[in-house]
Structure 1
Amino acid sequence: MSEHDQHPSQPVDDVPQEAWSGVHRGPLRAGEWVRLVDGKGRKHNFALEAGKRFFSNRGHLDHDELIGREEGFTVTTSGGGDYLVFRPLLSEFVVSMPRGAAVIYPKDAAQIVAMADIFPGARVVEAGVGSGALTCSLLRAVGPQGRVSSYERREEFAEVARRNVDQFFSAPEGSSHPAWTLTLGDLAEALPASGERCDRIILDMLAPWECLSAAADALVPGGIVCAYVATTTQLSRFVETVRAHGGFTEPHAWESLVRDWHVEGLAVRPDHKMIGHTAFLVTARRMAPGERPPRKTRRPAPGAYGPDYTGPRPPDVPQEPVAPADE
């Protein structure tokens, strides 16, 4: 055994609970989630429970064989199957946790945290909460001194999200992350009624443009609104609604694609599978009260706002006349 393989003699302290990171160090404990991965990359995620047994097509193993050991080891089942054992990362937890609604994939959650500039201590509003995947990333980014206010219309989604968030952050029974509040209701009505002011607003819903006025009133000057939409029609409607509002900077819209690579000796090539389109992201910054952004110097493409266009229209773009029909 090399010196690099030897474990340090000093015990490893766990991450303090008051950090609310969702990360643990040291020996595996009952109640924690673990992630088992076999030689073919098949994954199993489950919570450790003393006296319980894990079953797969390669046999079984007892949870007690895992509890008390440092993560990063290989375990063999009764049928000779070998599995790597680690605690799941946040990006691994969210794609395997129980779902109510579809989750925001890690690639998009990372873009939201970075491009919406979610910072420690930030006051963030989220609507809707889905299954809690993005909520976990937001809470980790703002920290216990920040605030994440999540709004969800459907009670069944809210309950799934609450369980997932509490599970990830190892919240003591009967409590939750101190920076998190979950409200059952429509953001367009509930946010104005709350009188809450915030630094960032994340809109993950079918019609985010319906909440833009409420978002504009709640955001501080310089704050950011970020929308997560799945289709081009939603993308167009939201961007044009932001432009027509007049109190935001020019919207920035994009998507991200992730492609793994196969690397084996001289066989280096793109993988056959990739995470392609999941959603579009749009961000814009709130102007100070009464202020408007400079007019765009670049004219719209011919026909962009032609007779067939029926959506919101920027205030400085006139209605194009309908071309006469050919006789």
Structure 2
Amino acid sequence: MIKEGDTVHLKGKKDSFFVIVKQNEEFSTHKGTIKFNDIIGKNYGDTVLTHKGEEFLILKPTLYELIMFGIKRHTQIIYPKDSAYITLKLGLTSGMKVLESGIGSGGLTIVMANALNPDGRIYAYEKEEKFLKTAMKNLQLAKLDHIVVPHLQDLSEPIEEKDFDAAFIDVREPWLYIENVKKVLKRGAPIGFLVPTTNQIVEVLKELKRLNFIDIEVEEILQRHYKPVPDRLRPEDRMVAHTGYLIFAKNG
């Protein structure tokens, strides 16, 4: 049963909206206004009408849908094809303490926070206040903001927390901060990076080697969708190809 504070996916014939249900409030669309009181108490899979009589199906959004279609973006996000893999490579589970630098719009943060829920924490470092505020609102939409401890700073400043179980860095020049992160990362703990160009990979690799990191890997993930038509199954004309290079290592 849907209750106040739940996030719902309102799916119409052509339009979709992702909203947090609030008692005695309304949500306005070009198809009409929906009263949240008409949603509270219903079950996912039920429908609700706008004041114009337009019908919307009430669905429980998946994390994928929230990230790809629901969250507000100020920056390019890390796509689920990468964020799910990053989460597995870092071995994230509840109870872990994770450092993230360059939170952006929070796409990766949502996936990592979901893996860390309920007892893990992400200490998120972001120097742009606008990005940090947007990311925290997006985390509220996913009901995962309680997992994240936001810091309005970059990693050039002293890092107060210690003994991190894992770290991920997504900034323009990550090699500048690896030494600072190494000091607060547990011995043997994994670290990951995302960079868009090969020359950035080289700089990161140089610094990882200099600082005696081990198990260094460089990877790229490509994803291809197919048209789900039985009589003419074929790849989609467009695909999410290069989004970034992934680098992983462990603190030696």
Work out the CA distance in 2 between the residues paired with 1:232 and 1:149: 28
Code of the residue aligned with 2:172 in structure 1: it is L
Look up the match of 1:108.
Answer: 82
Q: Whose relative contact order is higher, 1 or 2, with alpha carbons under 8 Å and at least 6 apart? A: 2
Task: Tell me the CA shift for residue 77 of structure 1.
Answer: 5.3
AA partner of residue 233 (structure 2): V
Decide whether aligned partners of structure 1 residues 250 and 30 sit closer, same or farther in structure 2, where only a CA change above 3 A counts: closer
Question: Contact between 1:216 and 1:247, CA under 8 Å: does it hold in 2?
Answer: no
Return closer, same or farther for 1:272/1:63 CA change in 2, 3 Å cut-off.
farther
Which ranges in structure 1 are unaligned for 5 or more consecutive residues?
1-26, 171-175, 288-327
Instruction: Give the structure 1 partner of residue 251 of structure 2.
Output: 286
Matched, 1:72 2:40: no
**How far apart are 1:236 and its partner, in Å?**
2.4
Does the 8 Å contact 1:226/1:282 carry over to 2? yes
TM-score (norm 2): 0.87
Whether contact under 8 Å (2:26, 2:33) holds in the other structure is no
In the alignment, the residues of structure 2 paired with residue 273 and residue 33 of structure 1 have an alpha-carbon distance, to the nearest angstrom, of: 30
Residues 1:225 and 1:159: Cα distance change in structure 2 (over 3 Å): same
Of 190, 196, 202 in structure 1, the residue corresponding to residue 158 of structure 2 is 190
- Give the secondary-structure state (helix, strand or coil) at the position aligned to 2:149: strand
- Amino acid aligned to 1:165: L
| 8 A contact 2:217–2:248 mirrored in 1 | yes
Say which structure is richer in helix.
2
2: CA distance, partners of 1:39 / 1:72 = 15
For 2:49 and 2:136, locate their aligned partners in 1 and report how far apart those are by CA, in whole Å: 34
2:200 is the counterpart of 1:226: no
Identical counterparts, % of pairs: 28
Distance 1:115 1:91 in 2: 19
For 2:235 and 2:50, the matched residues in 1 are separated by 33
Tell me the SS of whatever aligns to 1:259: coil
Which of 65, 81, 91 is equivalent to 1:92?
65
Match of 1:18 in 2: none
Instruction: Name the SS of the counterpart of 1:149 in structure 2.
Output: strand
**Residue matched to 1:208:** 174
Which of 183, 194, 205 aligns to 1:217? It is: 183
Distance 1:78 1:205 in 2: 46
Q: Check 1:72–1:55 CA distance in 2 against 1; reply closer, same or farther (3 A cut).
A: same
RMSD of aligned alpha carbons: 2.4
For residues 103 and 37 of structure 2, the distance between their equivalents in structure 1, rounded to whole angstroms, comes to 35
Summarize the alignment of residues 133-144 of structure 1 with structure 2, pairs less than 5 Å apart: 133-144=107-118
Q: From the CA coordinates, give the structure whose radius of gyration is larger.
A: 1
Q: In structure 2, what is the equivalent of residue 321 of structure 1?
A: none
Shift of 1:219: 1.7
Amino acid at match of 2:169: L
Q: Is the 8 A contact 1:71 1:85 kept in 2?
A: yes
**In the TM superposition, what whole-angstrom CA distance separates every residue of 1:27-73 from its partner, at most 9, and x where no partner exists?**
22333322123445x4222233435244235x554444333211123
